[in-house]
Amino acid sequence: MVRILDTTLREGEQAPGVFFPLHAKEMAATALDALGVDFIEAGHPVAGREIAEAVKRLAGMDLRAKIVAHSRCSLSDVSAAAASGAGCVGIFLCVSDSRLDKVFRMSLPQALEAIEESVSRARELLPDALIRFTPEDTVRSEWDNVLEACRTAVLAGADVISVADTTGYMIPGVRSMGRYVNDLRDALERRGLAPMLAAHCHNDRGLALANALDAYQAGVDILDASILGLGERAGIVDLATLMTVLAADFGEGEHWDLDRLPDLYALVERHAGVSVPSFFPVIGKDVFRHSAGVHANAVIQNPEHYQSLDPGLVGREMEIALGGMSGASSVRWALSRMGIDSPDDELVSEVVRFVKIFGRKGRDVTSEDLLRVVQWCEGRPSKS
Ligand SMILES: [Zn+2]
């Protein structure tokens, strides 16, 4: 059973212009916990007083999900993360030669010393917490550096190693996240080490979900995601899509309550100031709506003709859109939803005519529009 880490409140808040006030973080954390995620990454306490306060507040909410505090590889960051009372501390450091040399101005041995010191301190301050170490930009860093960093972190007390595709570089079958996870697991096992492995996939090439599933099939223990995929640049894996695919196609998530996803997304949409596109998988308003007459006719017989996902999985229903492409089947379906089960052919053809006029003006016909059209048709003197 894979575990899900939601990082909307940490990674998501790194998306330009996104800021969640404390009450929104509390509501989101409550909703994420009820949804069934295992970890809620709440923020990086040293990034600001408000963030530190929020991490502390969430850690004190007594949720089933573990709260994760982010921390650079430094004793002051680790102390702040520990002081938040979080049940998990995520420590990160990029160990690529170029970053060590140009950004951190330290040698690999110095980096390993910093990792050892930070992870040990976290372990000492929080004996019961889960400690995660992330060699940031794992997949583009020198393999030997990553391996040494992971070995050092695990020996110092890290429970989880996160494989980070920080720049969305991986491609299934070409530069495979799954293969990387397997290689790292094997290399650590040969050294007698067996930490849990996590995958953090960015979406720069639009492949975050594919790479996360690649890692999942390699047996990764934890997958990171965020609501709407919010995060740095192109963001990361979208939470709703990931959980829905894992539930629908891989038998995961017996304890997940995916019906809660639409309300959770509406909450984050409101506070993040980011609109969910109508075609956004699983959540968008149109993703279970059928428009063209041919499609509508087929799904009215059997939804699976044009749906491979059951909308009921996320508490939604199939819908038929009325517009310029609609035909009689769509209109009969919409009328039956209004309680008009056996409309005469004349009413149907009149409604189709109106619906097409609406559609040609680029309008989506709402149920209120339809009711007005029906009332107008029924109020007219009969032709016969
Ligand atoms: Zn990230």
Amino acid sitting at position 147? L
Asked, for residue 282, whether it belongs to a domain, the answer is: no
Instruction: Read off the pTM.
Output: 0.94
Taking the CA atoms of residue 266, residue 35, residue 213 and residue 58 in that order, the dihedral angle to the nearest 10 degrees is: 90
CB atoms within 10 A of CB 221: 19
According to the model, what pLDDT value does residue 383 have? 52
Q: Which residue blocks in the chain are alpha helix, DSSP H?
A: 22-35, 49-59, 75-83, 97-99, 108-125, 143-156, 177-190, 208-217, 239-250, 261-272, 293-301, 328-337, 345-360, 367-379
According to the model, what pLDDT value does residue 184 have? 98
Asked, for residue 283, whether it belongs to a domain, the answer is: no
Distance 232 CA to ligand 1 centre (A): 7
Asked, for residue 281, whether it belongs to a domain, the answer is: no
Contacts of residue 365, defined as CB under 8 A and 6 or more positions apart, other chains included, come to 321, 322, 323, 326, 355, 358, 359
Q: How many residues does the chain have?
A: 384
From the list 70, 200, 202, 295, the catalytic residue is 295
Question: What is the 3-state secondary structure of 328-364?
Answer: HHHHHHHHHHCCCCCCCHHHHHHHHHHHHHHHHCCCC
87 and 191 belong to one structural domain: yes
Distance 11 CA to ligand 1 centre (A): 6
267 and 295 belong to one structural domain: no
Q: What is the pLDDT along the chain (384 residues), one digit of tens a residue?
A: 999 999 999 999 999 889 899 999 999 999 999 999 999 999 999 999 999 999 999 999 999 999 999 999 999 999 999 999 999 999 999 999 999 999 999 999 999 999 999 999 999 999 999 999 999 999 999 999 999 999 999 999 999 999 999 999 999 999 999 999 999 999 999 999 999 999 999 999 999 999 999 999 999 999 999 999 999 999 999 999 999 999 999 999 999 999 999 999 999 999 988 999 999 999 999 999 988 888 888 888 899 999 999 999 999 999 888 888 888 988 998 899 888 888 889 889 998 998 888 888 888 888 888 888 888 888 876 554
CA–CA separation, 189 vs 199, rounded Å? 18
How is residue 293 written in tokens? 């007459």
168, 205 contact by CB (below 8 A): yes
Distance 158 CA to ligand 1 centre (A): 19
Q: How many domains does the chain have?
A: 2
295 is catalytic: yes
Residue that terminates a domain, selected from 237, 272, 307: 272
Asked, for residue 124, whether it belongs to a domain, the answer is: yes
199 and 326 belong to one structural domain: no
Distance 374 CA to ligand 1 centre (A): 52
* CATH number where 180 lies: 3.20.20.70
Distance 7 CA to ligand 1 centre (A): 9
Q: Which domain holds residue 310?
A: 289-379
Asked, for residue 261, whether it belongs to a domain, the answer is: yes
Helix, strand or coil for residue 18? coil
According to the model, what pLDDT value does residue 381 have? 62
258 and 312 belong to one structural domain: no
